[in-house]
Structure 1
Amino acid sequence: MDELSRAYFGADFQWGVSTAAFQTEGSCGTDGKSPSIWDVFTSKKSRVKGGHHAQTACDFYAEYKRDIDLVKQMNIPNFRFSLSWSRILPEGTGRVNEKGIAFYNQVIDYCLELGIEPWPTIYHWDLPQILEENGGWTNRLIVDWFSEYVEVCALHFGDRIKNWMVMNEPMVFTGAGYFLGVHAPGKKGLRNFLPAVHHAVLCMAEGGRTLRRLCPSAQIGTTFSCSHVEPYSQTPKDVAAALRADVLFNRLFIEPVLGLGYPLSEVPVLRKIGKYFYPGDEERMVFDFDFVGLQNYTREVVRYSLFTPYIHAGLVKASTRGVPLTEMHWEVYPPAIYYILKKFDAYPQIRRIIVTENGAAFPDQVTANGEVQDDLRKKYLQDHITEVLKAKREGAKVHGYFVWTLTDNFEWAEGYHPRFGLVHVDFSSQHRIVKSSGRWYASFLS
């Protein structure tokens, strides 16, 4: 690893770090912000481990300069963060909250003052609760609601933003939030999942078109969660099960955006999504993004499962396979990011790829001298960056890599237990410690 050098990637390769509004900002009821679906979800019993909530989180809303200063200190040239819909439009549509606008103007301006490029994500899972009460992602009207929200963001921030991301991981917020019910808003079943999927696809494309109209010189992207999928064995049933899982994990959202339509042949139940189509939707789903953000953490091993409804495919738990694990019980498998990059690079419609999230949670400890020696995370990042370099050298159109995440934060239904940060956070005192992984990344980028 001593030979790994930033120079190998070229001067134009984008290095960064990623965060999200709900996971870091806190101040959930401050300065006119209305409740989001995650504010409501975390207030319910047994929804989040330990009963944790994000009322304070990392206190980024009050102390954003402190954390952006850390970005600068670690030589990180690009900072990805998200905008809170309910902070900007408290009623979901209509009235603009000027204090919310002022906050994000301050974040953007401070980044630029320090020579850091801001990369905002417009939607990172925190839908205004008032819109959820009107159906949320299951309501076709969300295409109009979302377009209005994107327009507000573009008009207020677009004069300074060179790189936009429309949406974060639609498969996760629709699958976990509208099918499994383990994330906000806690809905379950195909009758919620399928319309949420279709409307999210439409919103990605409409959001892209809105940004293209209002910010014609900006680079416009969107991000997808991706898992390298392998069959447990080479039996026909396991191989077919892995193909079905790949549809859900990797293909369901990218292919309609690319103009390929939904991948319906391997998972017949997805054909029911057609009942939510309006005339012209096949064209409305398509948008030519300047870049695609890929977010990969691990691989999934899949076997045939008779008792798993709809897809008859089940994950073989990494904990049963004798492989190294993160604190999330995800397998540490660096080649996964190489395979994902090669897989998405094979789509000729994709022009540029940026790894917009990659990282790992490990049980960090603060030493007696006040340091966090997180060697496992440092090696994880080094090994994954090496795999990105391998893909790039083989011609993959990968143009950037962002670490998840800057600071330990609120990790959704897992609460504060998993720590992904390059910076350790004591959530009682809000004290920060740059971990050894953060120091390594700073040195690598220097």
Structure 2
Amino acid sequence: MLRRRDLLLSALAAASLPALPLTAHSQATQVTPLLPSGTPRLPADFVWGASTSAYQIEGAVKEGGRKPSIWDVFSHTPGRIADGTTGDVACDHYNRYGDDVALMADLGFQAYRFSLAWPRVMPDGTGPVNAAGLDFYDRLVDALLARGIAPMACLYHWDLPQALQERGGWHNRDSALWFADYARAAIGRLGDRVKPWAMLNEPSVHAIFGHGFGNHAPGLTGWDSYVKAQHHLNLAQGTGIAAARAERSDLKLGTVLSLQPIFPASQQEADITAAARFDACWNTINLDPLFHGRYPALFAQDFAPLIQPGDMETIRAPLDFLGMNYYGPSYIKHEPNAFLAQASWGALPPDTPQTLLGWPISAQGMVDVLARLRDDYGNPPVFITENGACYEDPAPVDGVVEDPARTEYIRAHLVAAGQAIAQGCALKGYYAWSLLDNFEWAEGERRRFGLVRVDFATQQRMPKASGRYLAQLMKAARSTTGP
């Protein structure tokens, strides 16, 4: 039974709402309606936000005492980034944060998830705290609060200080202690104003691509490398939670996982078992330790040599919320030579819609993952902390970037959010990825997820039609009252 405070999202499609502006470019593709009639309700206290990460937008990599991260080194290594760009400037958010906060306020966002750059806060990874680095986040947080935008800070979004990588990085068990010290420093300065804190962003992705495949920083490869990094990331999540709770008692603490449905690419037994192995590496390698205090049975023996007394209790530290990044499902085939559990991505079913990156699209998949959290992991409070799509955006016409495919992607996933809540899933909010076009990791600047277009040559910002659509939706949600 839904609460009386719930609002009808079907009301958001009211005819009185203005349509998004159409240009000559968009005449052939009409704007997607806000939400279809009969859409399940979202709660009145549902949180509407946008997400970014430090290395992808901040730039200013040598300003304010910051030292290199693993991504600075990786992006400057020839051949690592598809278009040869780096995060040296990115969106220059370090110098333009005031304009970006004003842009968020104008669009109507009520929350903003960002990450802190560890090498900006503690340039050597351990030891002295860099006051100038924390001053930047002070200014950002104060600017957000002044515009009525609630900050959610993520402590680690893949930009480990290079100084720590040279001491073994996530292969070094001490990384969990380094992370706890960093968490204390950041929360000690900002915790009086920032209340929700996420420990890590997508540890399984960081372990798989950065420490297994090697196509993300720090560029390490192999199964043993992946297992070490994954366990120590899980352990750091727990030590970070403990450090944060010791620092302040009034925080809401969580972490962010990338979760997705995993399907076999065929009904052959080899592909079915490969999909189960891949699901363990992508999803339950984080979920099972966090909620059940154990690693998935398929790989328990691989992690056993790394586990010391007390590790699993530390990793199982209770959370106040779970951040869930959702983009779409994976279809997996057996691949004998693949380092990741002899499993790899297979062919998609015919006519499966895809983004520019070839990622399959399934809003229903988001409902399925939330239902899995409800049924298998105690139905924790969940925020969708990333959801978005990469497309080949057209050039602006009359000051408008028409991106109807991205608009439809967002609309479909917000419908799915309502369906999940109607089915009893504890979904509390939605943070779109991403506020800005940014440095998209190994793809560089050539791939765009933003609700706002960034001209990287001029740093001009321009809300896309998808951003204006979401702005209308958020405005309608605020102006609509429940029964």
User: What runs of 5+ residues in structure 1 fail to find an aligned partner?
Assistant: none
2:459 corresponds to 1:430: yes
Change (3 A) 1:209 1:279: same
Taking the aligned partners of 2:59 and 2:467, their CA distance within structure 1 comes to 23
Do the aligned partners of 2:222 and 2:339 also contact (CA within 8 Å) in 1? no
Match of 1:167 among 184, 191, 200: 200
2:221 corresponds to 1:192: no
Change (3 A) 1:303 1:433: same
For residue 335 of structure 1, report the CA deviation from its aligned partner.
1.3
Task: Tell me which residue corresponds to 1:297.
Answer: 327
Give the stretch that moved more between structures: 347-356 or 178-187. Answer: 347-356
For residue 190 of structure 1, report the CA deviation from its aligned partner.
2.3
2:305 corresponds to 1:275: yes
Taking the aligned partners of 1:424 and 1:310, their CA distance within structure 2 comes to 36
2:376 corresponds to 1:347: yes
Task: Tell me which residue corresponds to 2:264.
Answer: 231
Taking the aligned partners of 2:225 and 2:334, their CA distance within structure 1 comes to 25
Match of 1:50 among 83, 96, 99: 83
For residue 428 of structure 1, report the CA deviation from its aligned partner.
0.1
Taking the aligned partners of 2:343 and 2:193, their CA distance within structure 1 comes to 46
Number of aligned residue pairs: 442
Match of 2:94 among 57, 61, 72: 61
Do the aligned partners of 2:113 and 2:152 also contact (CA within 8 Å) in 1? yes
Do the aligned partners of 1:292 and 1:350 also contact (CA within 8 Å) in 2? no
Q: Percent identity?
A: 36
Task: Tell me which residue corresponds to 2:416.
Answer: 387
Do the aligned partners of 1:259 and 1:283 also contact (CA within 8 Å) in 2? no
For residue 249 of structure 1, report the CA deviation from its aligned partner.
1.4
Q: Any idea what the Cα deviations from partners look like across 1:207-250, whole Å, max 9, x if unmatched? A: 11111222211111100011211123334333222211111111
Taking the aligned partners of 1:38 and 1:314, their CA distance within structure 2 comes to 25
For residue 349 of structure 1, report the CA deviation from its aligned partner.
3.6
Task: Tell me which residue corresponds to 1:373.
Answer: 402
RMSD: 1.6
Do the aligned partners of 2:434 and 2:450 also contact (CA within 8 Å) in 1? yes
Change (3 A) 1:4 1:157: farther
2:152 corresponds to 1:122: no
Do the aligned partners of 2:67 and 2:120 also contact (CA within 8 Å) in 1? yes
Task: Tell me which residue corresponds to 2:129.
Answer: 96
SS at match of 2:292: coil
Change (3 A) 1:278 1:51: same
Taking the aligned partners of 1:370 and 1:161, their CA distance within structure 2 comes to 35
Do the aligned partners of 2:278 and 2:340 also contact (CA within 8 Å) in 1? no
Do the aligned partners of 1:259 and 1:285 also contact (CA within 8 Å) in 2? no
Do the aligned partners of 1:86 and 1:128 also contact (CA within 8 Å) in 2? yes
Q: Which amino acid aligns with 1:254?
A: L
For residue 3 of structure 1, report the CA deviation from its aligned partner.
4.0
Task: Tell me which residue corresponds to 1:247.
Answer: 280
Q: Any idea what the Cα deviations from partners look like across 1:397-423, whole Å, max 9, x if unmatched? A: 111111000000000001011110000
For residue 165 of structure 1, report the CA deviation from its aligned partner.
0.6
Q: Which amino acid aligns with 2:470?
A: Y
2:142 corresponds to 1:109: yes
Change (3 A) 1:20 1:4: farther
Do the aligned partners of 2:370 and 2:425 also contact (CA within 8 Å) in 1? yes
User: What runs of 5+ residues in structure 2 fail to find an aligned partner?
Assistant: 1-32, 476-483
2:363 corresponds to 1:337: no
TM-score, scaled to structure 2? 0.89
For residue 309 of structure 1, report the CA deviation from its aligned partner.
4.6
Q: Which amino acid aligns with 1:208?
A: I
Match of 2:54 among 21, 38, 43: 21
Q: Any idea what the Cα deviations from partners look like across 1:318-356, whole Å, max 9, x if unmatched? A: 4x8442221111112221111111112223444211111
